[in-house]
Structure 1
Amino acid sequence: MDWDKLRIFHAVADAGSLTHAGDVLHLSQSAVSRQVRSLEESLNVTLFHRHARGLILTEQGELLFDATKSMVKRLETTAARIRDSEDGVFGELRVTTATGFGTLWLAPRLPKLYAKYPGLKIHLMLEERVLDLPMREADVAIRMKEPNQADLIRRRLMNIRMRLYATPEYLAQAGPIDVIEDFSQHRLICQNTAAAQVAAGASLTQKILAYDIPSLLTVNNYFGVLQGVLSHLGIGVLPDYLTEDFPNLVRVLPEIESGEVPVFLAYPEELRTSKRVAAFRDFVTEEIFAYRKQQRELEEVKA
């Protein structure tokens, strides 16, 4: 098949309009229409239903659009690898991770990465939905469980646990909490158990909510939970990695915690040689190593 015709078909299918596709391709509407018609004739199929409100792909058009999307993703990957310099790290890097981890752990550390590689252009995508790395919805992912997609390079970074934290100011005002039954005198701040989150966090929250808790604040991400705790509103269910950046938080009921939550870094096999990906991977690994070292030192001091 003629690549030029496929490229124009892809632009039309993506835009849903001959006019908009022409604007993207810098071609006239009539030129775009001729190329699409020529492709349909060569395949002996109809690729679009034409309506006054725009173009809708036929079943055959959907099949071809799926194929051209894969081709475009592959070309983007190849272009990214070509753009990688042998001597420097620059260009766009799309990183996806959960909202809480990206906001509370990753973003505060990025100045160090930018200081080392000022030419990087990081697009940070914070959401609970797992993006498709092989289809290049993102270049690198940090997730709270092992990725199960094929053709991925993955590395286990660390394990975290969900624990209970409060500020000294809140505890001074509301009083101590020595056993879980004391929650009857305290406010719990947590994610709603139906909200997207790590299963271990939801399980811990369900366990606590089984007790008499008269006052409750639920937020749909851990950043909001943290802000509630820092505002002295109550006791929050939070990931333990926050103790590095918020050392004034007081852990309460230390016998209560979630099971271990693994944190994985993953990227597509085809980006194995990408210098941008390697720079980000090494940066995160170094930061995790520093975090683990600090945690060990704190445990030794406590012992």
Structure 2
Amino acid sequence: MDWDKLRIFHAVADAGSLTHAGDTLHLSQSAVSRQIRALEESLGTTLFHRHARGLILTEQGELLFEATASMNRKLDTTAARIRDSEEHVFGNLRVTTTTGFGTLWLVPRLAKLYARYPDLKIDLMLEERVLDLPMREADVAIRMKEPNQQDLIRRRLLNIRMRLYATPAYLEEFGTPTTVEEMASRRLICQSPSTPQVTAGAALSQLILEQQPSSILMVNNYFGVLQGVLSNVGVGVLPDYLTVDFPNLVWVLPELDSAEVPVFLAYPEELRQSRRVAAFRDFVLEEIQSHRKLISESDNVAAQ
């Protein structure tokens, strides 16, 4: 199929007019019309309904327009990758991670990344479902377990633990529990153990639920759990990375520290040379290094 004719067809379909397409392509209306007729003849079908007010795609024309639009997007992406440089990182980057990590850790730090690369466009997909990186459902993933898909470059970022946290105000009113059994008289805020979440979080929640607390608030993500804790609703099951950004939270029952949860960053092998991926990866690694130092200091203070 003639690429030049497809390019002209796409411009006409996008503009809905031979004249406007010709202006965009710097071609005469007659030249554009000849190319469209030639394309229709080669395909053996009509691509446009011709009306006095303009051109409307036929069903066959809509199918072809979907294909040319997809081609255009891929060409634009490829061109952007070619133009990428260390001095000017720009273009679209699709990042996926869990709702909790994305809302509570990553998003609050993105202002620094945009300050460094103001032309970067991030499409952040927050969900528990593991997207298929080799099939390019996303460019970069940050997950709470090591990815098992093939042809991925992966980097372990840190280990987190699930813990019980409350505000000083809540503990002053209801008292600080000193044993897990005392959680029966405190309000627990957690995700249901049956909802998608890290195993360590589900196990810790289940342990407290076995104490049969008289009052419970269940939320389907850690952002909601955090808001409940900050609003003095109860004692919440939360990841320990929150202590850096919310230093006033009190770690309740430190002996119930959960098993470690590994956090991995991964991206497809084919994106190894992508400047956008490298910029995002390096930024996250810098923030993680700073985070590790701060959370270590926080743990030391809590242990004293």
Larger of the two Rg values belongs to structure: 2
Match of 1:189 in 2: 189
Compared with structure 1, are the counterparts of its residues 114 and 180 closer, same or farther at alpha carbon in structure 2 (3 Å cutoff)? same
Query: Residue 171 of structure 1 aligns to a residue in which SS?
Result: helix
Match of 2:248 in 1: 248
Query: Residue 110 of structure 2 aligns to a residue in which SS?
Result: helix
Cα deviations across residues 38-58 of structure 1 (Å, max 9, x unaligned)? 6799xxxxxxxxxxxx98xxx
For 2:44 and 2:143, the matched residues in 1 are separated by 43
- The number of residues matched between the two structures is 272
Q: Quick check: 2:243–2:298 contact (8 Å CA) kept in 1? A: no
Compared with structure 1, are the counterparts of its residues 79 and 40 closer, same or farther at alpha carbon in structure 2 (3 Å cutoff)? farther
**How do residues 36-185 of structure 1 correspond to structure 2 at under 5 angstroms?**
78-185=78-185
Cα deviations across residues 243-298 of structure 1 (Å, max 9, x unaligned)? 00000000111111321111011111111111111111111000100011122333
Compared with structure 1, are the counterparts of its residues 270 and 77 closer, same or farther at alpha carbon in structure 2 (3 Å cutoff)? farther
**How do residues 180-219 of structure 1 correspond to structure 2 at under 5 angstroms?**
180-219=180-219
Compared with structure 1, are the counterparts of its residues 27 and 207 closer, same or farther at alpha carbon in structure 2 (3 Å cutoff)? farther
Q: Which stretch of the first structure deviates more once superposed, 76-85 or 165-174?
A: 76-85
Structure 1: where are the runs of 5+ without partners?
12-21, 42-53, 56-60
Q: Which stretch of the first structure deviates more once superposed, 101-110 or 112-121?
A: 112-121
Compared with structure 1, are the counterparts of its residues 145 and 201 closer, same or farther at alpha carbon in structure 2 (3 Å cutoff)? same
Match of 2:277 in 1: 277
Q: Quick check: 1:5–1:39 contact (8 Å CA) kept in 2? A: no
Compared with structure 1, are the counterparts of its residues 300 and 230 closer, same or farther at alpha carbon in structure 2 (3 Å cutoff)? closer
For 1:37 and 1:183, the matched residues in 2 are separated by 77
For 2:272 and 2:124, the matched residues in 1 are separated by 20
Instruction: Look up the equivalent residue of 1:294 and give its one-letter code.
Output: L
Cα deviations across residues 138-196 of structure 1 (Å, max 9, x unaligned)? 11111111111121111000000110000010011112211111112110000112222
Q: Quick check: 1:222–1:238 contact (8 Å CA) kept in 2? A: yes
Deviating 4+ runs (over 6 angstroms): 1-7, 34-41, 68-74
Q: Quick check: 1:181–1:212 contact (8 Å CA) kept in 2? A: no
Match of 1:234 in 2: 234
Q: Matched residues, percent identical?
A: 67
1:80 positional shift: 3.9
Query: Residue 190 of structure 2 aligns to a residue in which SS?
Result: strand
Superposed CA RMSD in Å reads: 3.4
Given the two structures, how large is their TM-score scaled by the length of structure 1?
A: 0.77
Compared with structure 1, are the counterparts of its residues 165 and 151 closer, same or farther at alpha carbon in structure 2 (3 Å cutoff)? same
Query: Residue 294 of structure 1 aligns to a residue in which SS?
Result: helix
Cα deviations across residues 96-127 of structure 1 (Å, max 9, x unaligned)? 11001000000111111111111111111111
Instruction: Look up the equivalent residue of 1:185 and give its one-letter code.
Output: S
Instruction: Look up the equivalent residue of 1:154 and give its one-letter code.
Output: R
Match of 1:45 in 2: none
Compared with structure 1, are the counterparts of its residues 294 and 2 closer, same or farther at alpha carbon in structure 2 (3 Å cutoff)? same
Q: Quick check: 1:81–1:271 contact (8 Å CA) kept in 2? A: no
For 1:72 and 1:143, the matched residues in 2 are separated by 31
Compared with structure 1, are the counterparts of its residues 152 and 287 closer, same or farther at alpha carbon in structure 2 (3 Å cutoff)? same
Cα deviations across residues 194-241 of structure 1 (Å, max 9, x unaligned)? 222112211221122111211000001000000000000000000000
Q: Quick check: 1:77–1:271 contact (8 Å CA) kept in 2? A: no
Query: Residue 236 of structure 1 aligns to a residue in which SS?
Result: strand
Given the two structures, how large is their TM-score scaled by the length of structure 2?
A: 0.77
For 1:228 and 1:297, the matched residues in 2 are separated by 26
For 2:257 and 2:69, the matched residues in 1 are separated by 44
Instruction: Look up the equivalent residue of 2:174 and give its one-letter code.
Output: A
Q: Quick check: 2:153–2:266 contact (8 Å CA) kept in 1? A: yes
- Whether 1:262 aligns to 2:262 is yes
